[in-house]
Amino acid sequence: MVNILSLTCKVIKSCLKKCESFYFTIGSVCGIRLAGSLFKNVESLQSYKDFIETLTI
């Protein structure tokens, strides 16, 4: 009985490690995409701000 429980725990731990690495990889890719889109938004806001400043001058 104890051997079955320890074996089950080992299997669960290995599955969790695989899932964590999978989600870490997915999270990294999504994070890069999110950062890229945020950078584009900041660039467009900056150009809009520059445009408004040129109109007010």
- Summarize pLDDT for 2-16 with one digit per residue, the tens: 566 666 667 767 755
Burial (CB count within 10 angstroms: exposed 0-12, middle 13-18, buried 19+), residue 55: exposed
Q: How many CA atoms lie within 13 A of 36 on its CB side?
A: 6
- Summarize pLDDT for 4-53 with one digit per residue, the tens: 666 666 776 775 566 566 666 666 666 666 666 666 667 777 787 788 77
Q: Two tokens at 20?
A: 């964590």
**CA–CA gap between residue 7 and residue 19 (Å, rounded):** 18
Domain ranges of the chain: 26-57
Helix (H, G, I), strand (E, B) or coil at 42: helix
pTM (two decimals): 0.35
